Amino acid sequence: MTSLQGRDYIETQDLTTDELNHLLESAKDLKAKFQRGEPTPLLPNQTVFLLFFDKSTRTRNAFEAGATQLGAHAHFLDSNVTQISHGETAKDTGIILGSMGHGIAIRHDLILDEGNKFMRNVADATDVPVINMQCDVDHPTQTLADIMTIREVFGDDLRGRKIAVSWAYSPSYAKPLSVPQGLITLMTRFGMDVTLAHPPEYRLMDRCMEAARANAKAAGTKFEVATDMEDAFRNADIVYPKSWGPYDLMLQRRDAKTEERMHQIEEECLSLNSRYKSWICDSQKMQLARTSAIYMHCLPADRGAEVTDDVLDGPQSVVFQEAENRLHTAKAIMAATMRERPFK
């Protein structure tokens, strides 16, 4: 079994399928031990720095609780109150944090073409593993928990299962593109046929689309793009409707020079979102999927916009099981990359 000790975990594309399966098996084992009340002190006296450029509930708590359960300490850092806010570089940040601890986990997801580059620059500057807690390209801790949850429902052999990854309406804010991008690139590798649906303004990064097509071809699966949610949902085994920001406006947000312009772009994003209020996951759309289909979402979901309460709280929803699995996949990633010996 390949050791991941010292390896970065920035995109699932960086790992082989065997390595991802190793993490999934580790997460499964850690979850079983957690449920039995069996201690798993795999990282005694180690420190992981959690550097956040954005808000978090599930990710932060999964890593903080997970580190504690592994015998390590998770040190929370808000980028706004570090010297990064005064211009300290990713290189210098990586050197300093890497010299003080055993791992660095980063969330930097709101600005296109920034987060992933920042993480890789940190990784280039240090020998300790860098873990992506969500960037502009991928959310690889979320999607690993997603596939863990799908396997718990349908078993390990997912070949021929269809997952619908669809845009959904949101009135709250222009959300990152990384979850749908992570889903289309990962699920195609694990035997699933993937249908992506979105309005025309909500395309994803070209490199993620190209990777999804290549992964599907290599795995002998399907990757298709639909123009409406209903088409994507038909005969699906898994539906994953989630909002993300309009691509061109997200690029403008990247290039904005003032807070005033940032606010204007956010308002433009929400105005565009409002044209597509019919893109909501409700019971009628769920009926287009298979009767055994499950509803998934990374959370938080905008109730009454992305999804209706009866679906989110209904019997086909696995969102809280999915959220719980964030803890165990976070532990598996930290244990495999930070540990002094391979996880058994």
Question: Domain for residue 250, yes or no?
Answer: yes
**Do 156 and 238 belong to one domain?**
yes
Residue 341 has pLDDT above 70, yes or no: no
The enclosing domain of 151 has a CATH number of: 3.40.50.1370
Rounded to whole angstroms, the maximal C-alpha distance in the chain is 54
Residue from 248, 249, 247, 229 nearest 239 by CA: 229
According to DSSP, the residues that pair with 162 across neighbouring strands are 193
The answer to whether position 271 is within a domain reads yes
Q: Is the pLDDT of residue 111 over 60?
A: yes
Residues 317 and 334 in one domain: no
- Give the tens place of pLDDT for each residue, 197-219: 999 999 999 999 999 999 999 99
Tell me: do 32 and 99 sit in the same domain.
yes
Q: Are residues 84 and 45 in the same domain?
A: yes
pLDDT digits (tens, 9 = 90+) for 117-127: 999 999 999 99
Burial 300-323 (b: 16+ CB within 10 A, else e): ebbeebbbbeebbeeebbbbeebb
pLDDT at site 344: 45
Q: Is residue 343 part of a domain?
A: no
Full-model pTM:
0.96
**149 and 268 co-located in one domain:** yes
Tell whether 151 and 129 lie within a shared domain: no
Q: Can you tell me the distance from the alpha carbon of 22 to that of 72, in angstroms, rounded to the nearest whole number?
A: 21
Instruction: Give the pair of three-digit tokens for residue 310.
Output: 């009866």
Domain annotation covers residue 269: yes
Check whether 325 has a pLDDT greater than 90. Answer: yes
- Mark whether 147 and 292 lie in a shared domain: yes
Residues 61 and 153 reside in one and the same domain: no
Question: What is the number of structural domains in the chain?
Answer: 2
Please indicate, yes or no, whether residues 160 and 303 belong to a single structural domain of this protein.
yes
% of the chain exceeding 90 in pLDDT? 97
146 shares its domain with 288: yes
Residue 267 falls within a domain, yes or no? yes
Q: CA angle, corner 74, sides to 71 and 80, nearest 5?
A: 180
Q: What is the pLDDT of residues 273-305, one digit of tens each?
A: 999 999 999 999 999 999 999 999 999 999 999
* Residue-by-residue DSSP string for 255-308: H--SHHHHHHHHHHHHHHHGGGTT--B-HHHHTTS-TT-EE---S---BTTTB-
Residue 344 lies in a domain: no
The two three-digit tokens of residue 321, written as one number: 């099981």
Q: Which domain holds residue 206?
A: 141-323
201 and 82 in a single domain? The answer is no
In a domain, residue 1? The reply is no
6, part of any domain? no
